[in-house]
Amino acid sequence: MKKKNIEKTNVMRILEQHKINYTSYCYIDSGVISGIDVAVVLNQNPEQVFKTLVTAGNSNINYVFLVPVNQGLDLKKAAKSVGEKNISMIKSKDLLPLTGYIHGGCSPIGMKKQFKTVIDLSAMNFDTIIFSGGKIGYQVETSLDGLKKVISFDLADIREAP
């Protein structure tokens, strides 16, 4: 089911503009919805496939977190990582106006504005990580070093304990 370069998304264009090596995956018409299903369809390790989560802190500042698709975001750890007392997930209906992305197609690259972004420390276990290509049905894979050339992010332990 893994296909390369079916259609270029804005995320892919941004990576190319910055001359960052990446691999694109397309899983359109696969019927998958969950991140774990995406990892299975792409024949990838769910620990290496990350979901992009958008939150709001008590201060009304928004934050972006990336955690493996088979893990949940620990809201307390996440809040601590950005210096907030508490954070909460934003409502799905608020995602598009805030980020320019819809639920299921949200990428840390190419949002309407750059939000403070934190990626779970486990990403360091891999040469590359896979995350949304900015559109439902598309994923991109690149290194943390490559990603760092496009967005600013911190690494922290933000996932729920197993």
Instruction: Name 16's Cβ contacts closer than 8 Å, sequence gap at least 6.
Output: none
pTM: 0.91
Q: pLDDT band for position 44 (50/70/90)?
A: confident
Domains of the chain, residue spans? 10-156
Instruction: Name 101's Cβ contacts closer than 8 Å, sequence gap at least 6.
Output: 95, 107, 110, 111, 132, 134
Question: Would you identify the CATH topology of the domain 10-156?
Answer: YbaK protein (3.90.960)
Q: pLDDT band for position 42 (50/70/90)?
A: confident
Nearest-angstrom CA–CA distance, 95 and 68: 20
What is the model's pLDDT at position 3? 41
Per-residue pLDDT averaged across 128-157, rounded? Answer: 95
33 or 56, which is more confident: 56
What is the model's pLDDT at position 26? 85
Q: pLDDT band for position 30 (50/70/90)?
A: low
Note the pLDDT tens digit of each residue in 47-68. 999 999 999 999 999 999 999 9
CB atoms within 10 A of CB 15: 24
What is the model's pLDDT at position 1? 34
Contact 27, 136 (CB under 8 A): no
What Rg do the C-alpha atoms of the chain give, in angstroms? 15
Q: What is the three-class DSSP state of 98?
A: helix
What is the model's pLDDT at position 34? 75
Q: What is the mean pLDDT of the chain?
A: 90
What is the model's pLDDT at position 72? 94
What is the model's pLDDT at position 114? 92
Q: pLDDT band for position 38 (50/70/90)?
A: confident
Quote the DSSP letter at residue 124: G
Contact 123, 158 (CB under 8 A): no
Q: pLDDT band for position 161 (50/70/90)?
A: confident
